Amino acid sequence: MANWSDPRIGAGAQPTTTAGRDVAFDAGLRAHMLSVYNYMASGVLLTGIIALFFARGGTESIAFRIATQGGPLIWLVMLSPLAIVFAMSFGVNRFSTGTLRIMYWVYAALMGVSLSTIFLVYDIGSVATAFFATSAGFAGLSLWGYTTKRDLSGMGTFLVMGLFGLIAAMLITALIPGENPAVTMAISVVGLLIFAGLTAYDTQKIKSLYFEVAGTDYIGKAVVMGALTLYLDFINMFLFILRLFGNRN
C-alpha cells in the first residue's frame, strides 16, 4: 500500500492511488452496511416468528397465559430485553464480538415473546399493514440518512432529548388511572416522529463510525451494535404506527 507521507510519490501517481483507496473504502462501506442491515432484518424476522408462535391459539396461547397470569414471568419477559440492551451498550468494550452476537439474538427472541401479545390486541390485518408501512418508511429514511450530505448530529441531539421526554411522558401516563385517547394519540405521533428521525440519524452515525473502526478488531462489534440500534428504531416505529392506525380486537 502506498505511503502517503513518502515524498517520493509523484504528483501523477497520487490520483490513481487515491481513487483506488476510495474504491476500497466504498466497497468496504457497502459490505459493512449490508452486514448491519442483514443482522437487523434477521433480528426482526426472528422476533416476528417467535411472536407468531407464542400467539398461536388465541386465548389458549402462551402469550395469553403470560399476559393474564402475571407474576414474576411477565416481569421477566418485560425487563430482560431491557437488561440485555443496557448490558450490550455499556459493556460493548468488555464483551467479545461473538458474545455480543449471542446477546443480540437472545434479545430479538425475547422481544418476540414480549411482542406476542400484540396479536391478541390487534387484528392480523392491522399488524401486517403496520409492518409493511414501517418497512417502507424505514427503508426511505435510512436511505436518506445514508446518502445525505447534511450533518444530522444536531438533529440527533434534539431527538435524543425528545426521546427522554417521551419516556417520561409514557411513564406518567402509565401511572394515571384510565386512558386518555387524546394523550395516547399525541404520544404515539411524537414517538413516531422521533424514531423516524432517529432512523436517519443512526444510519448516518453507523456510516461515519465505519471510517473510524475499519480495519480494527472493533468492526465486528460495530456491525452488531449498529444492527441493534436500527432494530430498536424499526420496532418502535412499528409499535407507534400500530397504536395510531391499528384496529383492536
User: Residues 44-81: pLDDT tens digits?
Assistant: 999 999 999 888 876 667 777 776 666 676 777 778 89
Segments in the chain below pLDDT 70: 1-25, 58-60, 67-71, 73, 178
In terms of C-beta distances under 8 Å and separation of at least 24 residues, what long-range contacts does 167-173 make, across chains too?
Answer: none
pLDDT of residue 5: 34
pLDDT of residue 21: 52
Distance, CA of 45 to CA of 43 (rounded, Å):
5
The domain locations on the chain are: 21-245
Report whether 235 contacts 134 (CB < 8 A): no
